[in-house]
């Protein structure tokens, strides 16, 4: 019995099992009270600011060498570690977690719950990012070197043309969704998974709507970015790209792996929550 249990615990989760873990998590998220979503989303927006701050610290104090770019982008992972390991509501995580129940049930009721959660979490994330950016801009916590580094990082993150920002946001959405998909099977390796994938977002110059919103707000507060460019050149293209990457691309591919097995109804029985 002990040997059999050890084998089961060591066995790699298959796609159907991972799907079921994420689907149940998504159903739970869809029914969470609004205040819980709001406060968790604001905390995630604030937590994301540590990606910018950590990158700025590494850029400021590392020697100016060709490899500095690769190392400084490890700082980008810090905010994601804080948010994901802290189980805060991050919008780009929800582009897969809550969509799996939707593609499973395909009901108007479930669609309304997804739209509700997306709207609340996105707004809360942006508010939290704005609060954190305002703190960085006006509190005096950044010495001149760090202030210049944050400004440089912010100009780079928000300076792509709209079409390029959109294109760069699609891989970022896929990578964040990949973290969500892989986490159930990575017992003990969650931190390494988050660091590697979010480092790749930064090192690949991909754009992320929440971490990037900290930089967008920072430039808006300090006069480096106008409202029109912030919305039309950065915010809307990156938001759309992240949604397409996380939902239309990755989630549907994930659903495609298990669709035939799930729809035969032999694996879940009547355990699925009724969100119709």
Secondary structure of 35-93 in the HEC alphabet?
HHHHHHHHHHHHHHHHHHHHHHHHHHHCCCCCCHHHHHHHHHHHHHHHHHHCCCCCHHH
Distances (CA, A) of 62 to 53, 141, 198: 14, 20, 20
Residue 257: per-residue pLDDT: 78
Find all residues with CB under 8 Å of 190, minimum gap 6, and list them: 85, 183
pLDDT mean by block of 10 residues, the chain; 276 residues: 49 76 88 94 96 96 92 94 91 85 86 93 97 95 95 95 96 92 81 94 94 96 94 96 89 78 58 57
Is residue 173 within 8 Å of 206, Cβ to Cβ? no
Nearest to 200 by CA among 179, 172, 169: 172
Which CATH code fits 14-259?
Answer: 1.20.1080.10
Tell me the backbone φ, ψ of residue 267, rounded to 5 degrees. -105, -25
Residue 10: per-residue pLDDT: 44
Residue 142: per-residue pLDDT: 93
% residues pLDDT > 90 (the chain): 64
Q: Where are the domains of the chain?
A: 14-259
How far apart are the C-alpha atoms of 41 and 209, rounded to whole Å? Answer: 13
Find all residues with CB under 8 Å of 232, minimum gap 6, and list them: 162
Nearest to 45 by CA among 212, 195, 163, 201: 212
Q: What is the rounded (10 degree) CA torsion for 29, 35, 36, 42? A: 110
> pLDDT (tens digit, 9 = 90+) per residue, 16-31?
888 888 888 888 889 8
Distances (CA, A) of 210 to 215, 220, 233, 258: 9, 15, 15, 30
């Amino acid at each position: 019995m002990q040997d059999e249990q050890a084998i089961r615990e060591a066995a790699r989760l298959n796609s159907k099992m991972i799907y079921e873990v994420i689907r149940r998590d998504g159903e739970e998220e869809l029914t969470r009270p609004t205040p819980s979503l709001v406060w968790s989303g604001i905390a995630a927006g604030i937590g994301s600011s540590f990606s910018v701050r950590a990158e700025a610290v590494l850029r400021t104090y590392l020697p100016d060498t060709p490899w500095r770019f690769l190392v400084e982008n490890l700082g980008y992972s810090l905010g994601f570690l804080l948010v994901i390991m802290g189980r805060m509501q991050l919008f780009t995580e929800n582009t897969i977690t809550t969509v799996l129940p939707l593609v499973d049930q395909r009901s108007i009721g479930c669609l309304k719950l997804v739209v509700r959660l997306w709207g609340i979490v996105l707004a809360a994330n942006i508010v939290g990012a704005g609060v954190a950016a305002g703190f960085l801009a006006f509190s005096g916590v950044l010495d001149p070197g760090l202030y210049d580094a944050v400004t440089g990082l912010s100009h780079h993150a928000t300076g792509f043309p709209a079409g390029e920002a959109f294109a760069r946001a699609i891989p970022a959405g896929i990578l964040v969704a990949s973290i969500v998909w892989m986490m159930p099977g990575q017992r003990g390796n969650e931190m390494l998974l988050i660091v590697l994938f979010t480092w790749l977002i930064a090192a690949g110059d991909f754009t992320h709507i929440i971490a990037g919103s900290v930089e967008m707000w920072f430039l808006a507060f300090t006069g480096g970015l106008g409202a029109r460019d912030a919305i039309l050149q950065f915010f809307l293209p990156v938001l759309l790209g992240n949604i397409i990457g996380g939902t239309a691309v990755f989630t549907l591919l994930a659903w495609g792996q298990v669709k035939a097995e799930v729809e035969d109804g032999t694996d879940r029985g009547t355990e699925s929550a009724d969100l119709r």
